Structure 1
Amino acid sequence: MYVAPAQSRGAVQDHVALAEIELCGDLIIAASAADEERLSADRIDEVLRVGDLRGEGEGER
C-alpha cells in the first residue's frame, strides 16, 4: 500500500467532502423542521439548490 507523503503546509482540506457534509447537514435540518414524515423530491431539490445549478429558466431535458 502506498501512502502519500504529508503536506508541509499542514492539512489540506477536501473541499468536495466539506461541501457534501454541508449539504447533508442542510437536508437534516430541513427534515427535522418539516411537518410531513418525509421531504418531497421538490423540497429536497430546493434544499440542495438543484434549480440554481440547472438554471431556473431552462426547460426539462
Structure 2
Amino acid sequence: MGVERVMASSGPRGGGPDQTALDEIELTGELMIAATGSECERLPPERIDEVLLAGAEASDRASHQATDRASDQDGLPG
C-alpha cells in the first residue's frame, strides 16, 4: 500500500476569483461583526435579515461600479 501524494497548484486559475464565494465570505464577515456588537446571545432573525440585505445591496453596488469601470476602460460606448 503506497502513500498517495496530492500536489496543490499555487499558480493562477483560469477563471479568476469566484465572485459568489467572495460575496458569501463578505456577508459572513458582516454577520460576525453584527454578532460581536450585539448584547444578545444570538442575533434575532430580523437583525440577520437586515445585515444580509444591507450587505447584498452593497455588493450589488460594488459589482455595478466594477462593470461600469470595465466598460469605461474598453473605450466602447456602454
Q: TM-score range by the shorter chain?
A: 0.5 to 0.7
What's the % identity of the aligned pairs?
Answer: 48
Residue 33 of structure 1 pairs with residue 56 of structure 2: no
Aligned length: 44
- Counterparts of 1:23 and 1:30, CA distance in 2: 11
Aligned-pair distance for 1:39? 0.1
- Give 1 or 2: higher helix fraction: 2
Which residue is 2:21 aligned to?
A: 17
> Which contiguous aligned blocks of 4+ residues in structure 1 show a shift greater than 3 angstroms?
none
Please give the root-mean-square deviation of Cα atoms over the aligned residues, in Å.
2.2
TM-score, normalised with respect to structure 1: 0.63
- Counterparts of 1:36 and 1:19, CA distance in 2: 26
- Counterparts of 2:53 and 2:16, CA distance in 1: 27
* Structure 2 spans left out of the alignment, 5+ residues: 1-12, 58-78
* Structure 1 spans left out of the alignment, 5+ residues: 1-5, 54-61
Residue 16 of structure 1 aligns with an amino acid whose one-letter code is T
TM-score, normalised with respect to structure 2: 0.50
Deviation readout 1:2-56 (Å, 9 max, x if unpaired): xxxx53xxx6000000000000000000000001110000000000017x88xxx
